[in-house]
A = this chain, B = another copy of it.
Amino acid sequence: MELSATAKVILGMLAARPRSGYEIKQLVDSSARFFWAASYGQIYPELKRLEQAGLITGADASQGNRQRTVFRLTGKGRQAAREWIAGAPQVFELRDEGLLELFFAGSIEPGRTAEIARERAASAAATAAELRALRDDLDQKHQAEEPESSPDPGSLTVLRYGIEMNEWAAAWFARAADELENETADGTGARTRQRGQSMRTRW
């Protein structure tokens, strides 16, 4: 059974506990959005498809007259999730306009190259801050609601990766901007520097 992009995120979300479509959307937006987005236009139809395929079942959880359906994994659904996670990841797609601008800056507006790198450093720093806030938020909620159990190590790892990667990128681009400024200032090309010496980061 081939899972669609949205099916993967739904099965993952339901593996922890039953949820409504609305809850799934909230969770995606507040945590997975940075590496895996999903809109209502995908989620609700996919919930129906998954139910028809027997991977999930919906139970009515209406409160008064407000309609609400919570879905949970069936045995077959849990099995599908296990099979998915056992396989090698297939999808990796990146569309990054900042890198595209930097890539072409030299032939469009050479004087702006360093500036673009500088802007990228700032936006990476901003993303890092945003993710750090998200983590602190999760931490507080966790502390308050279920202080003894530990939060999921895998999702924490992903969050931490997002934070530290963006911090690293912020520093990297700041340094790259400095070097690009020097290059344009003294007129020397990249070739005058031994490649891999000055920019290489030690880790």
Cβ-defined partner of A109 (8 Å) among B86, B113, B149, B150:
B86
Select which of B81, B151, B192, B201 is within 8 A of A108 by beta carbon. B81
| B97 close to A91 (CB less than 8 A) | yes
Segment touching B, from A41-49, A53-61, A62-70, A99-107: A99-107
B112 and A86: CB pair below 8 A?
yes
Closest Cβ–Cβ distance, residue A32 to chain B (whole Å) = 6
Name the prevailing secondary structure of the A interface residues: helix
A87-142: which residues lie under 8 A (CB-CB) from chain B?
Answer: 88-109, 112-113, 116-117, 119, 123, 139
Q: Are B161 and A99 in contact (CB under 8 A)?
A: yes
Number of A residues, CB within 8 Å of B? 80
* Cα–Cα distance between A199 and B167 once the two chains are bound (Å): 13
Number of copies: 2
Among B98, B104, B161, contact of A176 (Cβ-Cβ < 8 Å) = B161
Give min CB distance, A176 to chain B, whole Å.
5
Picked from B16, B112, B165, B180, the residue with its CB within 8 Å of the CB of A85 is B112
* Cross-interface CB contact of A107 among B152, B167, B190, cutoff 8 Å: B152
- Mark A residues whose CB is within 8 Å of B: 5, 8-9, 12-13, 15-16, 31-32, 34-37, 78, 81-82, 84-86, 88-109, 112-113, 116-117, 119, 123, 139, 149-158, 160-161, 164-165, 167-169, 171-173, 176, 180, 183, 189-192, 195, 199-201, 203
